[in-house]
Structure 1
Amino acid sequence: MAANRIICTKNNVDYVSIRKAMTAGARTKEEIAASAGVCTECEGCQSELETILSSVCGCKKVSLATVIEAVKAGADTVEKVSEVTGAGTGVDEVTGEECGKCKGLIQNIIDLGR
């Protein structure tokens, strides 16, 4: 699980805000800029946005492409996507409890099919 930190140093936008925008359906830099307010031009945006956008589950290192493939192959619930990909089954390193913070994003991918 990624720790919350400032990604867009120009507009002071943090990682959690970007992930919330993704959970609401943003999938491109332009959509993240419109939804979360990142500038897309500062060093943080340049070095981290692509990686954040391409990842669904940081705990298990599951990519957006992998989750989309699972959905297209018939995984139509968060549980089915988790079974196929491992996404959403990580353990929080701090608390030792199941993380599952990516489950909202997984559900959005299922809902939107992208």
Structure 2
Amino acid sequence: MAKNRVICNKNNVDYLSIRKAMVSGARTIEEVAKITGVCTECEGCKNELAGILSSVCGCKKVSLETVVNAVKNGADTVEKVGEITGAGTGIDEESGEECGKCKGLIQNIIDLGR
């Protein structure tokens, strides 16, 4: 699980704001920029945005592409996606409890099919 940190140094946009934009349907740098105000030009944006956008579950290192493929192949619930990919089934290192922070994004992927 990624800890919150500033990604866009120019406009002070943090990781969680970017993930919330993804949960609301943003999938491209342009869509994230429109929702969050990331500048797309600072070192943080250049070095991290693409990686954030391509990842769904940091605990299990599951990519967006893997989750989208699972959905296209019939996984129609968060639980089914987790069974197939492992996404949403990680353990929080600090608390030792199930993390599940990516479940909202997984549901959005199911809802949008992308």
**Structure 2 length normalisation: TM-score?**
0.99
C-alpha distance in 1, partners of 2:73/2:93?
31
C-alpha distance in 2, partners of 1:94/1:8?
26
Identify the residue that residue 4 of structure 2 maps to in structure 1.
4
Quote how far apart the aligned CAs of 1:45 are.
0.2
C-alpha distance in 1, partners of 2:103/2:57?
9
AA partner of residue 26 (structure 2): A
Q: Secondary structure at the match of 2:95?
A: coil
AA partner of residue 55 (structure 1): S
C-alpha distance in 1, partners of 2:94/2:37?
29
Over the matched positions of the two proteins, sequence identity in percent amounts to 79
Identify the residue that residue 49 of structure 2 maps to in structure 1.
49
Q: Secondary structure at the match of 1:7?
A: strand
Count of residues in Structure 1 that have an aligned counterpart in Structure 2: 114
Structure 1 runs (4+) greater than 2 angstroms displaced: none
Q: Secondary structure at the match of 1:35?
A: helix
**Structure 1 length normalisation: TM-score?**
0.99
Q: Secondary structure at the match of 2:109?
A: helix
Spell out, residue by residue over 1:48-98, the C-alpha distance to the aligned partner (whole angstroms, 9 max, x if none).
000000000000000000000000000000000000000000011111110
Quote how far apart the aligned CAs of 1:36 are.
1.1
C-alpha distance in 1, partners of 2:35/2:58?
21
Identify the residue that residue 32 of structure 1 maps to in structure 2.
32
AA partner of residue 79 (structure 2): E
Q: Calculate the aligned-residue CA RMSD, in Å.
A: 0.3
Quote how far apart the aligned CAs of 1:112 are.
0.2
User: Which consecutive unaligned segments of at least 5 residues does structure 1 have?
Assistant: none
C-alpha distance in 2, partners of 1:6/1:69?
30
AA partner of residue 53 (structure 1): L
